């Protein structure tokens, strides 16, 4: 069983238990839970960069666009969105360690990847709705994860590991224009 299935299952059990306690004891637990959720989100915003580790670049814009184009360092990145668009162009990216890990968390996330032929790609996406347009075709999933690896992933000197978690995620992979 995958980790996201366990987390989703636990979440549904907790919501069911809250509803049961409210029905049996006629108590409004959401009156207490909503403020706790807000406090938790505030703590996440403050503490997330320290939790990620010293070598991870964490960006937490609420709305907007992040563009990594031209010469940039492809290392470990973590991006947290409410709604956002990501353009990751690996055509001129510098891979100091050979592998780059990009994690994108968001409610609605649009990810466009420009991938040269010599760079390998692995994608793991867990969302309520995921649309993936890769070099070999298109996949759409509802309540199911997408796992993809480019044919050259294990042979490539430079590799990108993209992981997304969200409600709606769209991922498009293209080759650079010549």
Mean of pLDDT over the chain: 85
Q: What is the pTM of this model?
A: 0.72
- Going by pLDDT thresholds of 50, 70 and 90, the confidence category of residue 11 is confident
Contact present, 136 and 176 (Cβ < 8 Å)? no
Give me the phi and psi of 54, to 5 degrees please: -75, -25
- Counted residue by residue, the chain has a size of 178
pLDDT digits (tens, 9 = 90+) for 52-110: 666 777 777 778 889 999 999 988 888 888 888 999 999 999 998 889 999 998 888 99
Question: Nearest-CA neighbor of 147 among 178, 124, 168?
Answer: 124
- Going by pLDDT thresholds of 50, 70 and 90, the confidence category of residue 22 is confident
For the chain, first and last CA: distance in Å? Answer: 43
Stronger pLDDT, 6 or 152, i.e. the higher one: 152
pLDDT digits (tens, 9 = 90+) for 106-137: 888 999 999 999 999 999 998 888 999 988 88
Evaluate if residue 49 carries a pLDDT over 60: no
Q: Give the pLDDT score at 54.
A: 67
Tell the burial category of 88 from Cβ atoms under 10 Å away from its Cβ (0-12, 13-18, 19+).
buried
């Amino acid at each position: 069983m995958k980790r996201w299935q366990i987390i989703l299952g636990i979440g549904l059990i907790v919501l069911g238990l809250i509803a049961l306690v409210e029905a049996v004891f006629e108590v409004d637990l959401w009156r207490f839970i909503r403020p706790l959720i807000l406090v938790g989100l505030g703590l996440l915003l403050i503490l997330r960069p320290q939790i990620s580790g010293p070598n991870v670049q964490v960006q937490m814009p609420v709305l907007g666009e992040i563009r990594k184009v031209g010469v940039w360092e492809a290392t470990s990145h973590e991006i947290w969105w409410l709604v956002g668009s990501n353009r990751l162009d690996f055509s001129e990216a510098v891979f100091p360690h050979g592998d780059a890990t990009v994690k994108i968390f968001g409610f609605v996330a649009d990810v466009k990847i420009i991938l040269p032929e010599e760079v390998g790609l692995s994608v793991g996406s867990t969302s309520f709705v995921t649309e993936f347009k890769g070099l070999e075709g298109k996949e759409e999933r509802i309540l199911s994860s997408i796992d993809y690896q480019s044919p050259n992933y294990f042979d490539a000197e430079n590799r990108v590991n993209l992981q997304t978690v969200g409600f709606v995620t769209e991922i498009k992979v293209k080759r650079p224009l010549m």
